[in-house]
Amino acid sequence: MAGNPVLFKPASEVPLIGKMIARCFNEGADLPEGLFQLILAAGKDVGSTLFKPPVRKVVFTGSTDTGKWIMRECSKHLIPAVLELGGKDPMIVLEDADIEVAVKGALWGAFGNCGQVCASVERLYVARPLFETFVARLKVAAEELRMGYPGVEEYDVGPLNNDAQRAVVEAHVEEAVARGATVVTGGRRPEGQSGFFFPPTVLVNVDHSMQVMRDETFGPLLPVMAFDTEEEALELANDSNFGLTASVWTRNRSRAEALAHRLEAGTVTINDHGFSYALVETPWHGEKESGIGISHSDAGMREFLFPQHINYDNVAQLKRRMWWYPYGNEVFELFKAFAVAMSHMSHLPGFVGRVVKNRTWRKAVFGD
């Protein structure tokens, strides 16, 4: 749309998806030949070759560590980068929330795509009066989710993408349990099922000393904590190096908006989680180590443009601009008078202020 040629490198774990995206652009959109080019390679094979001229901008979605490396490589040639990185996204359920809706929302937010979403719910904070009931319902709902393969059987949750990612999930569970966490449901590989499956897992008795509350899991793992006050929930939610998305669940809209403004996240959703990524008119961006720059929306479109300003100085009455040489006492006094006038008039609001400033300028320059 902005007229830029694109080099598109999908993650090396999903080359077939990358090929399908390229096909959509090159065949479906009927683009000029070469405008959209697909690169299939492992990141280590590409190295830093993509982060130097003639490339003029890099837009990356992926892990925070890789994003930091890309930013360092881009800085060698002052190439700007938009980085959409990891998340450890919190979900806050206040005591006046619709518990049925919140349980269903947590289920989808945490286990959609087997938890392999940067905006997944990875930390759940529930008001203490609701906590026991909420966890009990969440356990039942999670155990009703069916694991399986597309096209083979009816299912809700598929496998993880690779065994290394499953190992990360297992390590987070093991470390949390060793520190005192309790597995409510799930927690181990299913027996007799081939593939990189790991069941939807819910943990309680967790705290922020555990990896599961600090590091991105990127898998079907949901730790749940109780809180006593709204301030405590806010402090826990903001206690993270990440700030991609968050959600607040309550029947009170004004209360939700007040809390949302204080959450350190690029997107805060009320009574849902993360779905705005599918709305191209809404901006998508993170705070802290969740990234820099914006994708989607008008602001995201501007990320692909380099603005240029052209100024035509149309002051035909003057043969010499007041800031040109030669300098002298008269010019100095003129500039001083102008600065004093501006400081006195700058407090005037709106149109009146602009008119006064205009007249002051004309008197200083033209004497009228």
Cα separation, 233 vs 249, in Å, equals 12
Task: Tell me the pairing of strands 245-249 and 267-270.
Answer: parallel
Give how far the C-alpha of residue 98 lies from the chain's centroid of Cα atoms, to the nearest Å. Answer: 27
- Calpha distance 147→46 (Å, rounded): 35
CA distance linking residue 150 with residue 292, whole number of Å:
35
Mean per-residue pLDDT for 76-85? 96
Whole-structure pTM value: 0.88
Which position has the higher pLDDT, 246 or 150?
Answer: 246
Of 256, 218, 261, the closest CA to residue 92 belongs to: 256
Q: What is the band of 354 on the pLDDT scale with cuts at 50, 70, 90?
A: low
The domains found in the chain, sorted by start residue, are 6-85 (no CATH), 89-273 (3.40.309.10), 313-368 (no CATH)
Do β-strands 182-185 and 121-127 pair in parallel, antiparallel, or remain unpaired? unpaired
Q: Is the pLDDT of residue 359 over 90?
A: no
For residues 231 and 328, which has the higher predicted lDDT (pLDDT)? 231
Per-residue pLDDT band at 366 (split at 50, 70, 90): very low
Please say if the pLDDT value at position 353 is more than 90.
no
CA distance 242 to 286: 8
Does 368 score more than 60 pLDDT? no
Q: From the CA atom positions of the chain, what is the Rg in Å?
A: 28
| Amino acid 350: pLDDT | 54
Confidence band for 346, pLDDT divided at 50, 70 and 90 = low
Classify residue 144 as left (phi > 0), alpha (psi -120 to 50) or beta. alpha
Lowest mean pLDDT among 86-90, 108-112, 364-368: 364-368
Q: Which of 111-120, 239-248, 317-326 has the lowest mean pLDDT?
A: 317-326
84: annotated active-site residue: yes
Overall average pLDDT of the 217-241 stretch = 98
- Selecting among 73, 74, 84, 264, the annotated active-site residue is 84
Residue 174 has pLDDT above 70, yes or no: yes
Decide if pLDDT at 363 tops 90. no
Catalytic residue among 73, 74, 114, 118: 118
Residue 24 appears among annotated catalytic residues: no
What count of other Cβ atoms lies within 10 Å of the Cβ of residue 216?
A: 24
Note whether 206 and 224 are within 8 A (CB).
Answer: yes
